[in-house]
Structure 1
Amino acid sequence: MKTFYINLSIVLIQVISGFAIAQDNDINISGVVLEEATSQPIPYATVALYRKNSKEIITGTSTDYEGKFNLMTTASNFYIEISFMGFKTKSITQLNSSHSKINLGVIKLAEDSESLEEVVVRADVSKTVFKLDKRVFNIGKDISSTGASALEVLNSVPSVTVNIEGEISLRGSSGVQILINGKPSVLADESSNALGTLTADMIESIEVITNPSAKYEASGTAGILNIILKKEEKKGWNGSVSLNTGTPDNHSVGLSLNRRTEKFNLFTQIGVGYRSLPRDSEAINTNLADNEVIYSVGTSYRDETFYNFTLGTDYHINDLNVLTLSGNFAYEVEDQPSETNFRYYDSNNVLVSNWVRKEITEATNPKYQYDFNYKKQFKNNSEHALQLSALGRFFGKDQSSEFINSTISGTDANSNQQTKTDFKQADYTFKADYTNPLSDSYTIEAGAQYVINDVGNDYQVSDLEGTDYVVNEDLTNNFEYNQKVLGIYFTGAYELEKWGIKAGLRLENTDLSTLLTNTNVSNSQNFTNYFPSFHTSYKLSDNMSLQAGYSRRVFRPRLWDLNPFFNIRNNFNITVGNPDLQPEFTDSYEITSIYKIGKASFSSSIYHKYTTEVIERVSTFNDNVTTTTTENIGTNASIGFETNGKYSPTNWLTLTGDFNFNYFDRVGNFETESFDFSGNQWSSRLGTKVGLPADIDVELTGRYQSGYNTIQGDVSGYAFLDFGLRKKILKGKAVVNIGVRDVFESRISESFVSQPTFETYSHSQRGRFITLGVSYGFGKGEAMTYSGGRRR
């Protein structure tokens, strides 16, 4: 309560003093607040000035994300108190002023063991910190994320949406680049389903970069999501262990260990588990030329046994040089049974044939990565640094499937098929980054990156003829994909206390080639592009700031966008790639305001994007079969508004919300058809977290995603609710969590395609997921909620 009244007094004093004219005898007080044990910055620590005689509060402020603070006063007889929950308050009475400035330098706060329990309770809520060119969403121990994978965590981040298929979008736009600790990673490859091996407890923060500076690789027209993983820094042995279960089957055990010494930091995480992911689906193909209709309804499963092992070490050669070596190995064993019922009706609505198509699919997915990183800091400034890194990653899939058709009634529809897939992807990334703060105001950055992507997909289809399976040469091929991207960049920043500006330029050369080896059909592309960026910010007051930014981005076609071969699970609704697809380019502009009103904080943005060579999915219809492929079709201009907010009226209640509205204008033609149209989409999210007696927390999060028009039809909207409950025991060392995702089973995927000659409808649903987790922290570690969770 003391801290509350201090903060309230500071806010009132700042509001009143904001109307006063600064005097000539103002004293500027500055410093930086760090943790004594780890030398890590302490954001939002309270810095208060008191009169020595009356102990009346004069003014105050809070530290920023880097632990820095700066305030002004005209008083002459005062002392300073610096406080933060969980740390001992420090009083500074001996103050030396030089030229109306008092520089307190580094102030270190020691942990207060008597209040640590309160700190654990109050530090649970995720929060967003704003920087010049990005937003940093620090992951709290959100209850509904119990047993959740990285995709569920991303779905709780403002501006980010993850649909039922696992596709990630930012402000309603796909084409998002996912990084792990600032680098590409096999764990961030959506095509490999690998994000599920990351879990909520492993994530420290997520950086949302809607307008990336030239320092970042230009891929991803919607922006960048950078997932920062935790790396324990406490000395000695630390760790935590967890056990999770749930329905549908979701069982796992996780272990996290860390050993910290003066020279080494050894960290490892191990997870093993089993999860079943059912999915109900329905599709209707209507031939408007003769009114024939094909219905398909079925359920598919992804039953997975998974293993995840991470091992790494930091070696501090000295105070200025650090080597990091780390590796991750994950292995999945998949069993994917499915059963789909088909019904074929003629133009008179008479049932012609009814049959069942069963699938038996087994697959093993090994994936691993290894990372070398060297960082050198220079003596003159800790921010003056050179960083070199090399990353290798591999993902493989050895999959076999058998499809069995059984006629129930009507015309014989028996036809059995087998498929085999041998998929291998190897990626290599080499980076060099140099940062030099030339002064307190000027900073330059320069660097280079070289990325190699080498992929092979050997796909074979065999048809049952008599008693033998014969290879279908029309559907069999080996697709090879090779891409090399060389990028160099330079940025310069000028940053004062209230105003900052950052500009940069990136040059990238892309060399892409694809080859269908069986048919010797190849495609090569080589192009060089410039990607400028510009960012600025201005602090109007302690409670309000403005940011503005511009960047140019590219979305290069992904493997599955280019590969012309497809899965034949439902051979009346198939998807194929287009090897002739071109990249799309986006110019992105935005203005953002950040402001505080009492106990509420808000961020609002207006943004505009203009994209050329837009990659769209286009459906064609032939012989009652819908084939969907990707094409470059015209341009897309969009303008949107987004706002995020958090309100904590008491220390036991927190309310959060965000809203995003996007209006778009599509212009384009494909073959003889015009795709000119306009539309909009919007989404909202509301969350509440309530602290109850007996160390019990309850959390509710509701979300709505509106429907929107596509170039050939529309996608329906949906709403869903997540629930979480947590109970801390053993003085916070152990935690029991219950999470319910999609409480009312209302999260669906539903789309329509309506054309003059055909109509299609598709519907899919995952259903409700319930998880129970128990975790225990030992050493200096804290209880976690690790589940080795998989993507849904």
Structure 2
Amino acid sequence: MNLRYFYISFLILFAFSQLQIVSAQNVQIIGKVLEETSKQPIAYATVVLFDSTTGNTIKGVITADDGSFKIDTEIKQFYLQISFMGFVSKTIKEINPERRKINLGTIILKENTQQLEEVLVQAEVSSSQFKLDKRVFNVGKDLSSTGASALEVLNNVPSVNVDIEGTISLRGSSGVQVLINGKPSILTDDGGALGSITADMIDRIEIITNPSAKYDAEGTSGIINIVIKKDERKGINGAFSLNAGIPDNNSIGISLNRRSEKFNLFTQMGLGRRVYPRDSENINEDLETGTSIVSEGRDLRAEKFYNITLGTDYYISTNSVLTLSGNFAYEIEDQPSDINFKSLDASSNVTSEWERTETTEATNPKWQYELVYKHDFEDHEDHDLLLSATGRSFSKDLTSLFQDTTISGTDRDNTQNTRTDYGSNNYTFKLDYTKPFSEIWILETGAQYQIDDIGNDFEVQDLVDGEFVTDLGLANNFQFDQKVLGAYVIGGYECENWGLKAGLRLEQTDLETTLVTTNVSNTQSYTNLFPSVHSSYKLSDAVSLQAGYSARINRPGMRELNPFFNIRNNFNIRQGNPNLMPEFTDSYELTSIFDIGKTSLNFGVYHRYTTDVIERISVFENNVNTSMPENVGTNSTLGIEFNTKYSPARWLTFNVDFNYNQFDRKGTFESAVFDFNGDQWSSKLMAKFDLPANIDLEAVGNHRSKVKTVQGISSANTFLDVGIRKKILKDKGVINLSVRDVFKSRFSESFISQGNSEAYSWSRRGRFVAIGFSYGFGKGEAMEYSGGKRR
């Protein structure tokens, strides 16, 4: 605990010390750019400062998502020019340079109708942008994501890794919260459900490694926010995409938008079919007897998906907007598997062999609906109030038939049937209020109430004398009821080159789980404080520093708490633990950002200290490996992160992402001591080539190192994705081709040792090839475009 206060004190002292060295010579100009008709902010507009004497360019910046900008200069004679595609540029010359801070207020740009009708310009934005508390990754630059799902796109984002089972990790830690448009979504509750979100639908992905107190404290390693496209240009605009792939990866999507003076109507629709094959091998060995069970097989996840989003923005007045939106997704799953089992004696001779086949069918309807009200007060551009209510509903009706057929040796003939009736209802209510008291002081406050009501009715039946009989030891109805009430307050101070934000979040959690059949309940109630501190200092136009601290929590979810399991491989069983407690993390980081000519470079140092760490512990009995999550001690992680973008030529760009950390584990479980240390690293290298004839080529290489785990080792692996893109039809159409895992070298391999038993596990998805076409109509652009608002 003393370490937390030391780091917080250090950050505050570091921040306030910068007040003494802020240059008194600089002049800072701020303002906000809006479009004339709708008074909506214009993001990514260009703001350029010119020398009044020579006419030369001094410097330039682009506007933020809310249309605001900030630019500094030591020159005393200057003027400003603001421009954006499709709008008439504006020049401002009447500026008083004697003031150290000049607020130009709201700047209105008029739409250039003639330019929009005659010329389509493809805007270019950086693939990765740094802000005070997050990094923004623009999906439009990721060619190898053609036909991909959100999970596959995430795997190309710096600092993010997604294994072949769909587990998402950030900086090597899986304690990450995934949001859609800044809010929890039913599509993120199940990793496979993100498959219904295609790359065409994603505008950008925000990586928040140290969230402020404004955000829900869930997620010990941070937050990943997937922002879905929503066009706001006047008139009727749209785009559609068509994708096909091997193995089956076929989808079609359409995006439509109609904007008038009072309404902005938007919709996105998609449907398709995806197949995810997997080859796997498992070996469980009893070292004392020398016997082992070897299983090899192939399983398939084939899903048809339908997804539709409908919504409208209603502009009540110039300063108030009401948004109503809804999303419906429906999946039809078919999950066959065929696994060959062999029982070996101490001399590796086969004593028995049998085959286990599975036929699984499931339907998954998912609903989400949201009502949002936002009011911008006239006294200040950042003075606003936001109210939102979100509802989510997900159900799964799943049936499986398992058949064991003896090939040789001991009679293993058996038939089993399982049934799962799953239902989840979630409700979130939020209030956020921002009040600036001056140009340098700002207050943010708000509250959130979240309700999670989940039920899972699971039943296993064995075929006995021609009739299915329920196995009472493997059947139960598990109920999960969690309520979290949170409130936060943040104070911010920003002067010229330096800024500081400090906040505190209070959360009250009430959780009750019940095993209905056995009438066993577990109740938890706890209150926690989550402080956060963020600071940034601009040393020069080329060098900036950012520092941050936040406290986080990882509450066990339904999968970690539910004790019942899938019996696909009944020698490798994964189940939950209803007595699991949440884990808590203190996270610190310091990042330096360099912008030098053609190169941008970011180097960061981070530290995480986690208590009540949740780990899966394997227990072996009769060559059956049963893994269950447990709270096992503490983990201290110290790491470095390096990102750079370099363009040695106009036609060639490199992006490099490197992450390395060392960790020290302390803990015991029952009589076993789990004290150990180790390290791990991952890297990504992307090379993008702009070729003649409007052709772009991209290659993305990934490497993940070997890493020591609580009971064993996970192996290293390296894999490559490539993509090529050709613009056609006056740049309104785009053809994409991508190959993911070119050499089929992406796999998951682990070794586990416990007492007198060992387990080996290996699996691989294989190569995926996809080709896609997208086309923009009206004032729309092909759906490969992404990054910032477009008008």
How far is the alpha carbon of 1:506 from its aligned partner?
0.9
Q: Which residue does 2:228 correspond to in 1? A: 229
Q: Which residue does 2:13 correspond to in 1? A: none
Q: 1:109 to 1:160 in 2, by over 3 A?
A: farther
How far is the alpha carbon of 1:107 from its aligned partner?
6.0
Maintained 8 Å contact 2:457/2:477: yes
Q: Which residue does 1:126 correspond to in 2? A: 127
Q: Which residue does 1:777 correspond to in 2? A: 776
Q: Deviations over 1:668-705 (max 9, x none)?
A: 11111110000011000000111111111111111101
What is the rounded CA distance, in whole Å, between the counterparts of 1:57 and 1:232 in structure 2? 36
Does the residue aligned with 1:156 lie in a helix, a strand or coil? Answer: coil
Q: Which residue does 1:612 correspond to in 2? A: 611
How far is the alpha carbon of 1:433 from its aligned partner?
1.1
What is the rounded CA distance, in whole Å, between the counterparts of 2:640 and 2:199 in structure 1? 29
How far is the alpha carbon of 1:651 from its aligned partner?
2.9
One-letter amino acid matched to 1:340: I
One-letter amino acid matched to 1:262: E
The TM-score with structure 1 as length reference comes to 0.92
Q: Which residue does 2:15 correspond to in 1? A: none
How far is the alpha carbon of 1:124 from its aligned partner?
6.4
Q: 2:176 matched to 1:170? A: no
What is the rounded CA distance, in whole Å, between the counterparts of 2:124 and 2:756 in structure 1? 58
Q: Which residue does 2:581 correspond to in 1? A: 582
Maintained 8 Å contact 2:28/2:496: no
Taking the TM superposition and a 5 Å limit, the aligned residue runs for 1:661-740 are 661-740=660-739
Does the residue aligned with 1:237 lie in a helix, a strand or coil? Answer: strand
Q: Which residue does 1:302 correspond to in 2? A: 301
Does the residue aligned with 1:318 lie in a helix, a strand or coil? Answer: coil
How far is the alpha carbon of 1:557 from its aligned partner?
0.6
Maintained 8 Å contact 2:241/2:783: yes
Q: 2:72 matched to 1:71? A: yes
Maintained 8 Å contact 1:43/1:67: no
Q: Which residue does 1:360 correspond to in 2? A: 359
Q: 1:626 to 1:27 in 2, by over 3 A?
A: closer
Q: 1:79 to 1:672 in 2, by over 3 A?
A: closer
Does the residue aligned with 1:382 lie in a helix, a strand or coil? Answer: coil
Q: 1:40 to 1:517 in 2, by over 3 A?
A: same
One-letter amino acid matched to 2:741: D
Maintained 8 Å contact 1:177/1:223: yes
How far is the alpha carbon of 1:536 from its aligned partner?
1.0
Q: Deviations over 1:197-242 (max 9, x none)?
A: 2122222222211111111111111111122222111011111111
Does the residue aligned with 1:151 lie in a helix, a strand or coil? Answer: helix
Taking the TM superposition and a 5 Å limit, the aligned residue runs for 1:289-688 are 289-688=288-687
Q: 1:347 to 1:79 in 2, by over 3 A?
A: closer
One-letter amino acid matched to 2:588: Y
How far is the alpha carbon of 1:459 from its aligned partner?
0.5
Give structure 2 stretches of 5+ with no counterpart. 1-21, 786-791
Q: Which residue does 1:6 correspond to in 2? A: none
Q: 1:37 to 1:202 in 2, by over 3 A?
A: farther
One-letter amino acid matched to 2:438: S
Does the residue aligned with 1:194 lie in a helix, a strand or coil? Answer: helix
Q: 1:390 to 1:384 in 2, by over 3 A?
A: same
Q: 1:413 to 1:381 in 2, by over 3 A?
A: same
Q: 1:491 to 1:32 in 2, by over 3 A?
A: closer
Does the residue aligned with 2:140 lie in a helix, a strand or coil? Answer: coil
Percent identity between the aligned chains?
57
The TM-score with structure 2 as length reference comes to 0.92
Q: 1:29 to 1:396 in 2, by over 3 A?
A: closer
What is the rounded CA distance, in whole Å, between the counterparts of 1:51 and 1:481 in structure 2? 67
Q: 1:616 to 1:571 in 2, by over 3 A?
A: same
Q: Which residue does 1:49 correspond to in 2? A: 50
Q: 1:666 to 1:704 in 2, by over 3 A?
A: same
One-letter amino acid matched to 1:186: I
Maintained 8 Å contact 1:774/1:785: no
One-letter amino acid matched to 2:145: S
Q: Choose 82-91 or 416-425, whichever is displaced more.
A: 82-91
Q: 1:560 to 1:692 in 2, by over 3 A?
A: same
Q: Deviations over 1:570-604 (max 9, x none)?
A: 00000111111011111111111111121111111
Maintained 8 Å contact 1:34/1:67: no
Q: Which residue does 2:148 correspond to in 1? A: 148
What is the rounded CA distance, in whole Å, between the counterparts of 2:445 and 2:228 in structure 1? 25
Q: Deviations over 1:170-200 (max 9, x none)?
A: 1111110111122111122135x22122122
One-letter amino acid matched to 2:475: T
Q: Which residue does 1:179 correspond to in 2? A: 179
Maintained 8 Å contact 2:47/2:63: no
Q: Which residue does 2:17 correspond to in 1? A: none
How far is the alpha carbon of 1:496 from its aligned partner?
1.3
How far is the alpha carbon of 1:57 from its aligned partner?
1.8
How far is the alpha carbon of 1:466 from its aligned partner?
2.0
Maintained 8 Å contact 1:44/1:67: no
What is the rounded CA distance, in whole Å, between the counterparts of 2:262 and 2:174 in structure 1? 43
Q: 1:268 to 1:68 in 2, by over 3 A?
A: same
Does the residue aligned with 1:659 lie in a helix, a strand or coil? Answer: strand
Q: 1:291 to 1:86 in 2, by over 3 A?
A: farther
User: How many pairs align?
Assistant: 759
Q: Deviations over 1:697-728 (max 9, x none)?
A: 11111110111001110100111111101111
Maintained 8 Å contact 1:406/1:414: yes
Q: Which residue does 1:14 correspond to in 2? A: none
